[in-house]
Amino acid sequence: MSKIEKIRNYNSIILALVGTIAVIFLIFAAFFLLEEMSRSFFRNDDYRNDGILATEETDQLLKDSLRRQIISFDRIQIVDSITQTYLLPVTQANLADPESSKVLADRLNTFGSGSDYEYYDENTYNNLIVYNSSTGKSQVVFNQRVSIGNYQVYNSGDQKYIIISGCSKDSNNDKYLNDRDLQELFIYDIQKAEISKLGAKENYTTLRTYQPALSTDLIVHFGIDRNNDGVFKSREEPMVFYQVNFQKMALEEFVSDAKISELQGLLEGK
């Protein structure tokens, strides 16, 4: 066999191998594409947990003596092992069809068949309960309708707090209170059983709360809904950091408005 024929055979083998790999890749790509399309086709849009109903919706349901959501509990965690204090987030199950709000309260914890309600793995919470097993007493954190987007237990010395981001206003007007609305900041003092709303500006939304390494401070990262449309867009609108003063239960700025104006002037070349 001549050298040219050997080269041709080698090239044929390489092309066949590349072609086979390409075909296998296309088969897998087509499989995943079809799987995703089938999920989108068969998925019930109501399967997503949209949060708790906005006030306008519940007002109308109350007029008709109806309800569309019922209280549920899906987890429990201990927040103080010494005092045996537990935290129970309160979520909701969405009824497939509205039911009379005159149904006895004990039915709220008695679920029927799957056709009666829809339950979700990922939940937006509507309240928190702090339970002390040594005293047998439980405390409801909120006495108003709030959709809780996130919460964490924060230790500051001997004091324990629950840091909560949530909303009471349907800022994006989708008829639900959930994490797509602008998020307010609340702090619950477990020892005092007191809830405080920290006064960020109305167009601020809580993005994250955390304690930096080597620090005892609690930092809050806010997004600013600059155009006041009720939705924060991270790629188009600014963000800012604040520090929590637990003694005053207030927010303290890292950078003053005057400094921000000075920085803006430098950015614009003024």
Q: What is the average pLDDT score of the chain? A: 83
Range of the domain at 103: 45-268
- pLDDT tens for 209-261 read 998 888 889 999 999 999 999 999 999 999 999 999 999 999 999 999 999 99
pLDDT, greater one: 16 or 189:
189
Do 72 and 100 lie in a common domain? yes
Do 172 and 228 lie in a common domain? yes
Work out the percent of the chain whose per-residue pLDDT is above 90.
53
Distances (CA, A) of 214 to 86, 211, 217: 28, 9, 9
Do 37 and 72 lie in a common domain? no
- pLDDT tens for 9-22 read 666 777 777 678 87
Whole-number Å distance between alpha carbons of 179 and 170: 10
Which whole number is the average pLDDT over 197-204? 89
Confidence of residue 27 (pLDDT cuts 50, 70, 90): confident
Number of domains in the chain: 2
Work out the percent of the chain whose per-residue pLDDT is above 70.
81
pLDDT at 12: 72
On whether the CB atoms of residues 124 and 146 are closer than 8 A, the answer is no
| DSSP H or E run through 17 | helix 3-42
Looking at residue 105, what DSSP letter applies?
A: G
Confidence of residue 115 (pLDDT cuts 50, 70, 90): very low
Choose among 176, 162, 182: nearest CA to 89: 162
Whole-number Å distance between alpha carbons of 94 and 123: 11
Domain boundary among 10, 26, 43: 43
Do 141 and 258 lie in a common domain? yes
Do 28 and 93 lie in a common domain? no
pLDDT, greater one: 100 or 117:
100
Do 81 and 108 lie in a common domain? yes
Whole-number Å distance between alpha carbons of 210 and 204: 17
Which whole number is the average pLDDT over 62-88? 91
pTM of the model: 0.74
Do 119 and 85 lie in a common domain? yes
Whole-number Å distance between alpha carbons of 180 and 31: 33
Confidence of residue 1 (pLDDT cuts 50, 70, 90): low
Do 21 and 90 lie in a common domain? no
Do 25 and 131 lie in a common domain? no
Do 37 and 136 lie in a common domain? no
Do 30 and 126 lie in a common domain? no
Do 60 and 38 lie in a common domain? no
